[in-house]
């Protein structure tokens, strides 16, 4: 059976306190981290946000509380999420691998891809990351869970990739880590200091 991202799915993994994998406070901390990182590198407040695989667009209300005038675009394949939240939370239908087909404008201040990458098949991973780099003008917050991590939650369709493999995907896409799931394209930013970022070759663990 094809995996269904329907109302029951979101209720189980995002809203039911007995089985959900996160909560409102944890989400708020992620949003504050991502916004702060982007604004540090841009030296100004963020104006545009792209949220890839946004689900119910839970980042949207938190972002709007922080930055009232932010221009938010969500991308999601779930028919349920699109029907319920698409119009009021600015969600467009699309997938990670086919992101380029949406013809989005480049230079987003912040690109978010939260709790998505582990479900992306191999053939879509490189094209999606490459398009994120093309669209990126500031910081991308991309959660990437490795095989070595002790993860819980929805494991259906989970791709168990080792950390060294994930780092190579990011390197080939031209994205450089600046810590805590945050990534930049150094060619688009000025004044990036060497200890603010860490390329795969500079990984202190040598992996």
Q: Locate tokens 């709007």: which residue? A: 64
- Is the pLDDT at 207 greater than 80? The verdict is no
Q: How far is the C-alpha of 60 from the C-alpha of 85, rounded, in Å?
A: 10
Q: Average pLDDT for residues 115-130, to the nearest whole number?
A: 96
pLDDT > 90 fraction of the chain, expressed in percent and rounded: 75
CA of 76: how far to CAs of 15, 111, 151, in Å? 18, 14, 23
The domain locations on the chain are 27-202
Q: Return the pLDDT at 200.
A: 52
Rounded-to-integer distance, Cα 146 and Cα 96, Å: 18
Q: Percentage of the chain with pLDDT > 70?
A: 95
184-195 tens-digit pLDDT: 999 998 888 888
Our separate counts of H helices and E strands in the chain read 6, 7
**27-202: CATH architecture:** 3-Layer(aba) Sandwich (3.40)
Residue 58: both structure tokens together: 């839970």
Specify the pLDDT at position 185.
96
Residue 86 CA: distances (Å) to CA of 60, 72, 94: 11, 12, 12
> Tell me, what's the pLDDT at 1?
54
Q: Across all residues in the chain, what is the average pLDDT?
A: 92
pLDDT in tens, 6-53: 898 889 888 888 888 778 899 999 999 999 999 999 999 999 999 999
Q: What integer is the mean pLDDT of 113-140? A: 97
Using one digit for the tens of pLDDT, what is the confidence trace for 62-93?
999 999 999 999 999 999 999 999 999 999 99
Tokens of 160: 């168990």
Q: Name the band, by pLDDT with cuts 50, 70 and 90, for residue 198.
A: confident
Q: Decide if pLDDT at 206 tops 50.
A: no
**Which strands, in side-by-side order, build the sheet including 176-179?**
91-93, 71-76, 48-52, 108-113, 136-142, 182-184, 176-179
As a whole number of angstroms, the distance between CA 192 and CA 9 comes to 41
Q: CA-to-CA distance for 153 and 145, rounded, in angstroms? A: 12
| pLDDT tens digits, one per residue of 154-176 | 888 889 999 999 999 999 999 99
């Amino acid at each position: 059976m094809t995996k269904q991202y329907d109302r029951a799915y979101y209720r189980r993994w995002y809203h039911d306190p007995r089985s959900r994998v996160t909560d409102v406070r944890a989400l708020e901390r992620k949003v504050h981290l991502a916004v702060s990182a982007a604004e540090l590198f841009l030296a100004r407040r963020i104006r545009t946000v792209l949220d890839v695989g946004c689900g119910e667009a839970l980042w949207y209300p938190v972002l709007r509380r922080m930055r009232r005038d932010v221009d938010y675009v969500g991308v999601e394949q779930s028919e349920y999420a699109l029907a319920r939240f698409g119009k009021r939370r600015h969600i467009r239908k699309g997938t990670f691998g086919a992101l380029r087909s949406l013809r989005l404008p480049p230079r987003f201040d912040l690109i978010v891809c939260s709790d998505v990458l582990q479900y992306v098949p191999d053939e879509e991973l490189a094209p999606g990351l490459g398009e994120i780099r093309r669209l990126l003008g500031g910081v991308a917050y991309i959660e990437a869970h490795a095989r070595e991590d002790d993860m819980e939650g929805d494991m259906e369709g989970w791709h168990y990739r080792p950390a060294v493999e994930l780092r190579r995907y990011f390197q080939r896409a031209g994205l450089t880590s600046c810590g805590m799931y945050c990534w930049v394209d150094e060619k688009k930013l000025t004044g990036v200091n060497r200890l603010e970022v860490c390329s795969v070759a500079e990984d202190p663990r040598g992996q």
